[in-house]
Amino acid sequence: MTEQKIRVLVAKPGLDGHDRGAKTVASILRDRGMEVIYTGLHQTPEMIAEAATQEDVDVVGLSILSGAHMELFPRVRAELVKRGMGHVLLVGGGIIPNDDMKKLEADGFAKLFGPGTRTDDIGVYIETEMKKRRAHSA
Amino acid sequence: MSLQDVIRTDAAALWQRAFDKGEKRDADFTTVSGAKLEPLYGPDDAALDPETDLGYPGQFPYTRGVHPTMYRGRLWTMRQFAGFGSAKQTNERFKYLLAHGQTGLSTAFDFPTLMGYDSDHERSRGEVGQVGVAISCLRDMETLMEGIPMADVSTSMTINGPAPILLAFYIACGERQGVSPTKLRGTVQNDILKEYQAQHAWLVPAEPALRMITDVMGYCATHVPQWNTISISGYHIREAGSTAAQELAFTLANGMEYVRRGVAAGLDVDSFAPRLSFFFDSHIDFFEEIAKFRAARRIWARKMRDEFHAKDPRSWMLRFHTQTAGVTLTAQQPENNIVRTAYEALAAVLGGTQSLHTNSMDETLSLPTEKAVKIALRTQQILAEETEVAHVADPLAGSYFVEAQTNRLEKDAERYFAEIDKRGGVVAATEAGWIQREIHRSAVAYQRATEQGQKKIVGVNCFQEDESGGPTIAIHKIDAAVEREQHVRLADVRKKRDSAKAKRALDDVRDACAGKDNLLARFVAAAHADCTLGEIAGVLRTSFGEYHEPKIL
């Protein structure tokens, strides 16, 4: 049996224009064999949740470097839940202070990645989590 | 061959043999941009004509600097980029910086302002005051500049899509302080091409955006003659991941496009070119950066004199601001960032910068604290006052290595110019996403090089420490109350203004969009009528349409 490809939505919520990290992560995850959809910039939480639903992804990765994460990250999660997508592996990254990371991880985010993270570590994390989830549901 | 030549050749051969036999470290001997470096440079590697390729400081082609006196005449302007929260909070930070010896102001705006939305717009939720100051109307600008003599201080504003509107707020604010526009000094970034390419805060598509830029050039040439109408910026291109050569080439290609547009709009090249200024990154590769600054001056001078036929030497001079590289800062062991910034600042000064921003150590964690900003400013003051590096103009000229790098970067840039021409010019190459893809490719290559260990980052992929306890330095957080206060202020502005006058001013903007009248003149009138940023930008969006980025991956 060939293993099913992991489908990832990499998204940029809000007005933030810093997309170097999001695009780099998207490219490197794609090179690891995942199917990656990148939303482009300036997305609303509704647009992101809608794209995740349409594309039926397993993972949603959000990137913000503008400081608006405590407003926008929970709103993306709420919109996902509203669309029956609360099960996706929800991760995020950017300039996010440690205590905010803890709050988000207590509030439905699987993991937050800060500056200096190896993209390999993100890839391995997603693969490991997805393996666990698929084993669990098989 | 003379006896001396024979001896010299022998010495070279001897060195080469010894070098080949010698033990070498297992390291990646390339620049941070991935350019191969030789172990040694000599006269053959640095072929140049000192008269035509270097000249003297203040003389064509300005490789050695734009002023005959360089820093003996005047030190560079120490200009720390600042802005957060409300206009009142940023006003206090400005006064703090001026009180500690800063010599010019530089304004960072929040994302809603950068994108042309008022603080109370739906899309602004959670973003107000976060990465810069929120300025939605003339009253906000007046608070920002309160108690700061606008005739005496020069102000830089980092804004692009809505740049002409913010400049209009500044001009109107000066008039309210009783300062004539002819006395205002400063810079508005106003470089839309690099927004599409790298920084991504835009308002309308390229053609109307370029028209607004020529409107600013035209208006300022007459009314605000000391204003730098555009700061053509490589900084964001580099921070988005480009190499040094790409930063140099794309920035200068953008600059040449603005010149072409100005000329096509009927302006005499010498009427606006002296007010063009540039803005570069100073990255961590010390010699490559110095060479980049030198090459930039030489290329620009040659293009302006020989291709655009500018006659005024001031049109040939590339004057630039520098910021140390934000991307080289690490969240790990953040105090080390002070050292990185100091090296980068030294490269900028040895490269002949006109003004400089040094990053604060905490900027990968949050906006800087007062203490971190002060250390960053002191870094420049130590450089200026203690190291004695500012006494001699272009001190690295004649270094075989630096001259070879300068030549190499000029050649690399020329190759990119040819490639851009082949793609129909810089606007077409940007709209097709080609420039963005080039930058992205370099960003991914660098990320891989650090993860595979060819490129080292102290604290990140070598000399790490356990930092699971969180950062060791203080964090600056923005109070959410700023957003609520902005809503109240804006509601008050809209209530108290003469609404018929405001409506007329917006109608005038709409008419100018459809016609050919200078838009900046209309924005100044709209500012005085207390129209908000979002209202004016809204008219532009309806008249000109919105920009959509090309898909690049």
The pLDDT value recorded for residue B149 is 94
CB nearest A41 (choices: B112, B240, B549): B549
* pLDDT average, residue stretch B288-296: 98
| A136 phi, psi to nearest 5 deg | -65, -40
Distance from CA of A132 to the nearest CA of B (A): 25
Nearest chain B residue to A99 by CA: give it: B470
B126 and chain A: CB distance < 8 Å anywhere? yes
The pLDDT value recorded for residue B9 is 77
User: How far, in Å, CA of B37 to CA of B29, rounded?
Assistant: 6
Nearest chain B residue to A65 by CA: give it: B131
Contact across the interface for A115 and B331, Cβ inside 8 Å: yes
* Residues with Cβ within 8 Å of residue B441, at least 6 apart in sequence: none
Q: Enumerate the domain spans of chain B.
A: 74-451
Would you say B103 and B127 are in contact if contact means Cβ atoms under 8 Å apart? no
Which residues of chain B have a CB within 8 Å of the CB of A119?
447, 451
Per cent of chain A over pLDDT 70 is: 98
Total number of residues shown for chain B:
553
Which residues of chain A have a CB within 8 Å of the CB of B444?
24, 27-28
User: How far, in Å, CA of B124 to CA of B112, rounded?
Assistant: 5
CATH classification code of B74-451: 3.20.20.240
Would you say B84 and B93 are in contact if contact means Cβ atoms under 8 Å apart? yes
Three-state secondary structure string covering chain A: CCCCCCEEEEECECCCCCCHHHHHHHHHHHHCCCEEEECCCCECHHHHHHHHHHHCCCEEEEEECCCCHHHHHHHHHHHHHHCCCCCCEEEEEECCCHHHHHHHHCCCCCEEECCCCCHHHHHHHHHHHHHHHHHHHC
Tell whether the model's pLDDT for residue B8 goes beyond 80.
Answer: no
User: How far, in Å, CA of B513 to CA of B540, rounded?
Assistant: 7
Tell whether the model's pLDDT for residue B103 goes beyond 90.
Answer: no
- Residues B509-518: tens digit of each pLDDT: 999 999 999 9
Is the model more confident about B477 or about B108? B108
- Residues B197-248: tens digit of each pLDDT: 999 999 999 999 999 999 999 999 999 999 999 999 999 999 999 999 999 9
B164 and chain A: CB distance < 8 Å anywhere? no
Q: Enumerate the domain spans of chain A.
A: 7-137
Tell whether the model's pLDDT for residue B93 goes beyond 60.
Answer: yes
- Residues A63-110: tens digit of each pLDDT: 999 999 999 999 999 999 999 999 999 999 999 988 999 999 999 999
User: How far, in Å, CA of B371 to CA of B356, rounded?
Assistant: 19
Distance from CA of B457 to the nearest CA of A (A): 9
B445 and chain A: CB distance < 8 Å anywhere? no
Show the CA angle centred on residue B192, arms to residues B267 and A23, nearest 5°: 155
- Residues B317-326: tens digit of each pLDDT: 999 999 999 9
Q: In terms of C-beta density within 10 A (0-12 exposed, 13-18 middle, 19 or more buried), how is residue B196 classed? A: buried
Would you say A61 and A13 are in contact if contact means Cβ atoms under 8 Å apart? no
User: How far, in Å, CA of B372 to CA of B201, rounded?
Assistant: 27
* pLDDT average, residue stretch B284-290: 98
* Residues with Cβ within 8 Å of residue B370, at least 6 apart in sequence: B93, B96
Residue A65, both tokens: 């470097």
Which residues of chain A have a CB within 8 Å of the CB of B460?
116
Distance from CA of B339 to the nearest CA of A (A): 18
User: How far, in Å, CA of B63 to CA of B54, rounded?
Assistant: 5
For B81, the 3-state DSSP assignment is strand
B396 and chain A: CB distance < 8 Å anywhere? no
Which residues of chain A have a CB within 8 Å of the CB of B240?
19-20
Contact across the interface for B470 and A98, Cβ inside 8 Å: yes
CA dihedral B271, B272, B273, B278 (to 10 degrees): 160
For B356, the 3-state DSSP assignment is strand
- Could you report the predicted ipTM of this complex, rounded to two decimals? 0.95
The pLDDT value recorded for residue B289 is 98
The pLDDT value recorded for residue B1 is 67
* pLDDT average, residue stretch A44-65: 98
Which residues of chain B have a CB within 8 Å of the CB of A41?
200, 549
The pLDDT value recorded for residue B431 is 97
The pLDDT value recorded for residue B470 is 75
Which residues of chain B have a CB within 8 Å of the CB of A66?
111, 127, 130-131
Q: In terms of C-beta density within 10 A (0-12 exposed, 13-18 middle, 19 or more buried), how is residue A99 classed? A: exposed
Q: Which of B113, B125, B336 to mutate to probe the A interface, most A CBs <10 Å?
A: B125
Q: How far apart are the two ends of chain B, measured CA to CA in Å?
A: 58
Contact across the interface for B553 and A38, Cβ inside 8 Å: yes
Which residues of chain A have a CB within 8 Å of the CB of B534?
none
Contact across the interface for B125 and A114, Cβ inside 8 Å: no
User: How far, in Å, CA of B55 to CA of B64, rounded?
Assistant: 7
Nearest CA-CA partner of B208 in B164, B270, B272, B266: B164
The pLDDT value recorded for residue A2 is 60
Contact across the interface for B440 and A23, Cβ inside 8 Å: yes
Q: pLDDT averaged over chain B?
A: 96
Show the CA angle centred on residue B26, arms to residues B21 and B31, nearest 5°: 105
Contact across the interface for B330 and A116, Cβ inside 8 Å: yes
User: How far, in Å, CA of B457 to CA of A118, rounded?
Assistant: 12
Contact across the interface for A15 and B201, Cβ inside 8 Å: yes
Which residues of chain B have a CB within 8 Å of the CB of A99?
470
B364 and chain A: CB distance < 8 Å anywhere? yes
The pLDDT value recorded for residue B473 is 80
Local confidence band at B474 (pLDDT 50, 70, 90 cut-offs)? confident
Contact across the interface for A66 and B127, Cβ inside 8 Å: yes
Q: Which of A12, A15, A23, A62 to mutate to probe the B interface, most B CBs <10 Å?
A: A15
B109 and chain A: CB distance < 8 Å anywhere? no
Local confidence band at B506 (pLDDT 50, 70, 90 cut-offs)? very high
Nearest CA-CA partner of A84 in A124, A115, A56, A45: A56
- Residues B41-88: tens digit of each pLDDT: 999 999 999 999 999 999 999 999 999 999 999 999 999 889 999 999
- Residues B395-428: tens digit of each pLDDT: 999 999 999 999 999 999 999 999 999 999 999 9
The pLDDT value recorded for residue A1 is 46
Q: Which of B2-16, B410-424, B488-502 has the lowest mean pLDDT?
A: B2-16
Q: Which of B84, B109, B111 to mutate to probe the A interface, most A CBs <10 Å?
A: B111
Pick the CATH number of A7-137 from 3.30.830.10, 3.30.450.20, 3.30.70.2860, 3.40.50.280: 3.40.50.280
Tell whether the model's pLDDT for residue B105 goes beyond 50.
Answer: yes
* pLDDT average, residue stretch B354-382: 94
* Residues with Cβ within 8 Å of residue B339, at least 6 apart in sequence: none
Tell whether the model's pLDDT for residue B257 goes beyond 50.
Answer: yes
